[in-house]
């Protein structure tokens, strides 16, 4: 199958079957989204959503959080993975937001990446979700599902996956495509054992085609 056909069929399938895919993190404004995405590294969205209501009550704005030391933030996020580092990053991020960006979350990916705790993936997520920009954040689900489907070939790093996907997915589809791939990876094309039997993408999936070819090869008889 030509790569163009694979992309066209897969994107069409997602458009039909997941028309309203969006982030599962709960937030009301770009500041809350940024905090939630920083907390979600190596942690489930469900766990983050259990934690953020009390955190946002106590620190409703970047100014409130900027006044806090990491030790004051820690108790609110201690049930999340890496709470010490994340408390430091939240405090540093809020201080920079206030001192350099007038208390506003920047929409520009390069400026976002200057904030403590914000790498390329986090900056891309904030850019597409809060500011509706065209970008492709690559997390572990996007990386794995893109490779299995055959949307990427030989990508060794998240950046290589991002480059291959953004070269072929129309810019207007990128924000939705990010959520399509994440949700598909979280619930169907799971890491240890993909649920191919329940997956509507089988006809265009490279991994599935290879598995089928392997299982239909005649077994060598033992002499
Ligand atoms: S067919 Fe299987 S491997 Fe391919 S996308 Fe679906 S669940 Fe993943």
The crossing angle, in degrees rounded to 10, of helices 174-187 and 120-131 is 120
Ligand 1: residue whose CA is nearest its atom 8: 189
> Helical H runs in 108-157?
109-112, 120-131, 140-149
Read off the pLDDT of each residue in 189-211 and give the average, rounded to a whole number. 96
Q: Which of 202, 209, 215 to mutate to test the pocket of ligand 1 (most atoms within 8 A of CB)?
A: 202
Tens of pLDDT, residues 53-85: 999 999 999 999 999 999 999 999 999 999 999
Decide: 163 and 199 in contact? Cβ < 8 Å. Answer: no
Q: Does this model's pTM top 0.85?
A: no
Q: What percent of the chain has pLDDT over 70?
A: 98
Is residue 43 lining ligand 1, measured as CB closer than 6 Å? no
43 labeled binding residue: no
User: What's the rounded mean pLDDT across residues 5-10?
Assistant: 97
Average pLDDT of the chain is: 93
Residue 220 CB contacts under 8 Å (≥ 6 apart), including other chains: none
- DSSP states of 34-95: HHHHHHTTTS-HHHHHHHHHHHHHH--SHHHHHTS-HHHHHHHHTTSSSHHHHHHHHHHHHH
Render pLDDT for 142-152 as a digit per residue (tens, 0 to 9). 999 999 999 99
pLDDT of residue 222: 47
Task: From the CA of 195, give the closest atom in ligand 1.
Answer: 7
Report whether pLDDT(158) > 90.
yes
Residue 42, class by beta-carbon neighbours within 10 Å (0-12 exposed, 13-18 middle, 19+ buried)?
A: exposed
Query: Residue 208: CB within 6 Å of ligand 1?
Result: yes
Give the mutation target among 11, 188, 199 for probing the ligand 1 site: most ligand atoms within 8 A of CB. Answer: 199
Whose Cα sits closest to atom 4 in ligand 1? 205
pLDDT of residue 24: 87
Position in ligand 1 atom list of the atom nearest CA 205: 4
């Amino acid at each position: 199958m030509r790569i163009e056909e694979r992309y066209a069929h897969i994107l069409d399938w997602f458009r039909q079957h997941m028309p309203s895919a969006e982030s599962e993190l709960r937030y009301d404004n770009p500041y809350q989204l940024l905090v939630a995405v920083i907390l979600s590294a190596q942690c489930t969205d469900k766990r983050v959503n259990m934690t953020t209501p009390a955190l946002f009550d106590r620190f409703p704005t970047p100014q409130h959080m900027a006044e806090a030391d990491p030790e004051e933030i820690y108790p609110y996020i201690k049930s999340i993975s890496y709470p010490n580092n994340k408390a430091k990053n939240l405090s540093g991020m809020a201080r920079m937001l206030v001192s350099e960006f007038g208390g506003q979350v920047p929409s520009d990916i390069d400026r976002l990446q200057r904030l403590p705790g914000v790498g390329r993936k986090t900056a891309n997520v904030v850019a597409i979700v809060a500011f509706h920009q065209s970008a492709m954040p690559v997390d572990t689900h996007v990386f794995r599902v893109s490779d299995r489907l055959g949307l990427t070939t030989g990508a060794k790093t998240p950046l290589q996956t991002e480059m291959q996907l953004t070269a072929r997915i129309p810019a207007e589809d990128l924000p939705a495509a990010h959520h399509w791939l994440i949700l598909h990876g979280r619930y169907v094309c799971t890491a240890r054992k993909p649920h191919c039997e329940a997956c509507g993408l089988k006809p265009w999936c490279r991994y599935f085609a290879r598995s089928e070819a392997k299982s239909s090869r005649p077994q060598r008889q033992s002499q």
